[in-house]
Structure 1
Amino acid sequence: MATTRLLPTVPVARRMFELLEPICLVTYLAEECNEEMAALGHRTYWDGYFASRAAPLGRVPAQVVHAAFYNFANGEAARHIPSAWETIPPEASLAARERGSAASLRRILGQELAGSPSLVRAAELTCKSATSAPTEGRVMYAGMRTLKVPSDPVARLWHGATMLREHRSDGHIAALLGAGISGIEAHVLSALEQGIHPPQSFGRIHHLPKDQLTACMDGLRGRGLLDADDHFTDVGRATKQRIEALTDELAAAPYAALSPVELDELITTLEPITAALVAADSQ
């Protein structure tokens, strides 16, 4: 019987996250996507981000985008939605995101790897898993599932990886809600896990009003998750670990569509692709 290339202690979903996340990161870190968005007329990075990522949901109000994205402060979505769609159709932003992301992948991977049969196979298996999971309770994933899967292998790989990223994100939000952790608090816990201290300096939250950050930190200390110096307590670290473990558990469903042989093949074909992207910091 074939066995997959996983250590016994590493969940399938965690290993796949490690392999797929660098593919998705080109959308947010590399220049091609930003250039495509600017060429459309988006004024800022965040205009393009909100317009393209929220587009699969349709022309929903900012309150819906805020709820679906979860980890932005009150009012941040409303600064971009629906204004980012008023002169640029959501479909145009979606197409620009795909073009820019695929162009970044081709540049970083180079023609030999981007045009290889192994990448074609990786794209095929990624999309097989990405189109197989139930959509109930998965708002962002369900939106992505309504989109046409690209025929170009590089774009197809990016699209499948992004579907799986949104599937995982939906599950992560469920895990955070179950633990009573808000979107802003989640950034604090993530910063500490990454070794960032003080956690308020983390790039995703450092710009927030001081009173909002103070209330967030006071709340985490009051619940015993952080100590007086804003480091994890044992309870806080255990809470973060439980959230991540449940996120992995909730992210596992798509990979059940693959046989053990296919999963092993997917991991094998993704490893050199991921290695190249990690070496370039996906930008």
Structure 2
Amino acid sequence: MTATSALPEKAGRTCHNVVNPFHSTHYFAPELAEEMAKLGLDNRSAAYFACRGAAMGAVGPGTITATFYNFNHELIAQHVPHIWSVTTPQQVLDARLRATDATLRRLLGTEAVESPEMAEAAKLALHAAEACARRARPLYAAHADLPVPQAPHLAYWHAATLLREHRGDGHLIALLDAELDGLEALVTHTATGRGMSHRGIMATRGWTEEDWQAAQERLRSRGLMDDGGELTEAGVLLRKELERTTDRLDRAPYEHLGAEGVARLTELATGFTTTAMNAGAFPAVLFGK
């Protein structure tokens, strides 16, 4: 597979925006909760820290805080490293893959899961991931050491995971350069009207309303947010620059895939992700303003 034409501006970001949700479907699925409960992890936060962090091994709370970035360390420390006294990283990885298999079969249906288009999406996404780099990208690097599942829908999910974590690790570099801490990153992102809602963040990230208000005040002192909680012109420009920097740091896999491959993967990913979303993959209460 060879690149035949220049990659259009934002093509990589557009592709990521439809590939990433395919990876994320399992986080909200009852199948994952059931599999984690069987391992003794019946708390949602504990299950999330375990299943996303397991590829790194039995790491401590500091590593989870550093790599996940926008969670309150105190919440993480309530569950890590205790989770590794209950189960093992390999047991979690196996359970995560079983849950993903069941989730995708439920959301997409057997025909889509076993379709030639799914196999094509897997091939394209894995090819793109060949150009991802391990250096300074701990979550990507850990997942890149895992074996690629044989079933096409799980191979595509694995590739989507690699692409997601590669871009995510790069995004954290951009956030550090912009001098935004984890909560400030969430506050400014929510203010754009995208991503998880304020209610969703409060329910999942371990922050208090006092923490949120303090973050807003820090942003106001930098001229990034106004008194009404909206981004100022400088705040809007900062968020745009963050995305441009993230695009630049994440361009390698999409340049490797080439314009035609990226366009085709975007087309296929849009179809699968739309089907999953229409099947209720994501709780509406957690997203939007």
Query: Normalized against structure 2, the TM-score is what?
Result: 0.89
Q: Is the contact made by 1:175 and 1:246 (CA closer than 8 Å) also made in structure 2?
A: yes
Quick check: 2:15–2:265 contact (8 Å CA) kept in 1?
no
**Contact between 1:62 and 1:78, CA under 8 Å: does it hold in 2?**
yes
Distance in 1, Cα, partners of 2:10 & 2:70: 25
- Distance in 2 (CA, whole Å) between partners of 1:277 and 1:261 is 24
Match of 1:247 in 2: 246
- Higher alpha-carbon deviation: 258-267 or 230-239: 258-267
How many angstroms apart in 1 are the aligned matches of 2:26 and 2:169?
19
Q: Match of 1:277?
A: 276
Q: How far does residue 266 in structure 1 lie from its aligned partner after superposition? A: 2.2
- Contact 1:12/1:252 (CA < 8 Å) preserved in 2? no
User: In the TM superposition, what is the alpha-carbon distance from 1:107 to its structure 2 partner?
Assistant: 1.3
**Partner amino acid, structure 2, of 1:46:** S
Cα distance in 1, alignment partners of residues 279 and 179 from structure 2: 36
- Return the alpha-carbon distance in structure 2 between the equivalents of residues 108 and 43 of structure 1: 23
> Counterparts of 1:28-47 in structure 2 under 5 Å?
28-47=27-46
Is the Cα contact below 8 Å between 1:51 and 1:93 reproduced in 2? yes
Distance in 1 between residues matched to 2:251 and 2:68, nearest whole Å: 21
Counterpart AA for 2:52: R
Corresponding residue number in structure 1 for 2:285: none
Q: Once the two structures are aligned, what percentage of the paired residues are identical?
A: 34
In 2, Cα distance between the equivalents of 1:236 and 1:267?
A: 29
Give the Cα separation in 2 of the matches to 1:208 and 1:66. Answer: 13
Stretch moving more, 160-169 or 214-223 = 214-223
1:235 alignment counterpart: 234
Distance 2:250 2:96 in 1: 24
1:38-83 alpha-carbon deviations (Å, 9 max, x no partner):
1222121111110111111122221111111111113222111111
My pick for the range that moved more, 23-32 or 169-178, is 23-32
Using the alignment, how far apart are the partners of 1:118 and 1:134 within structure 2?
27
Is the contact made by 1:145 and 1:163 (CA closer than 8 Å) also made in structure 2?
yes
Paired residues, number: 277
TM-score by length of 1: 0.90
The residue type paired with residue 205 of structure 1 is M
Q: Which of the residues 189, 192, 203 maps onto 2:200?
A: 203
**Structure 2 matches for 1:41-190, cutoff 5 A?**
41-190=40-189
What letter matches 1:171 in structure 2? Answer: G
- Tell me if structure 1 keeps the 8 A contact 2:187–2:212: no
> CA contact under 8 A between 2:41 and 2:47: conserved in structure 1?
yes
- The answer (yes or no) to whether the contact 1:21–1:165 under 8 Å persists in 2 is yes
Structure 2 residue matching 1:36: 3-state secondary structure: helix
Aligned residues of 2:139 and 2:166 also touching (Cα < 8 A): yes
**Alpha-carbon distance between aligned partners in 2 of 1:27 and 1:210, rounded to the nearest angstrom:** 28
Contact (CA 8 Å) 2:167, 2:249: kept in 1 or not? Answer: yes
Corresponding residue of 1:264: 263
Contact 1:123/1:154, CA 8 A, preserved across alignment: yes
Q: Is the 8 A contact 2:11 2:262 kept in 1?
A: no
How far apart are the structure 2 equivalents of 1:204 and 1:260?
A: 35
Q: Is the contact made by 1:191 and 1:202 (CA closer than 8 Å) also made in structure 2?
A: no
- Provide the secondary structure at the position in 2 that maps to 1:227: coil
> Partners in 2 of 1:272 and 1:85 — Cα distance?
38
For the Cα contact (< 8 Å) 1:192–1:231, is it kept in 2? Answer: yes
Aligned-partner Cα distance in 2 for 1:282–1:2: 35
Q: Report what 1:222 is aligned to.
A: 221
Distance in 1 of aligned mates of 2:237 and 2:253: 27
For the 8 Å contact 2:61–2:73, the answer to whether it is kept is: no
Q: State the alpha-carbon separation in 2 of the partners of residues 65 and 86 from structure 1.
A: 16
- 8 Å Cα contact 1:126/1:266 also seen in 2: yes
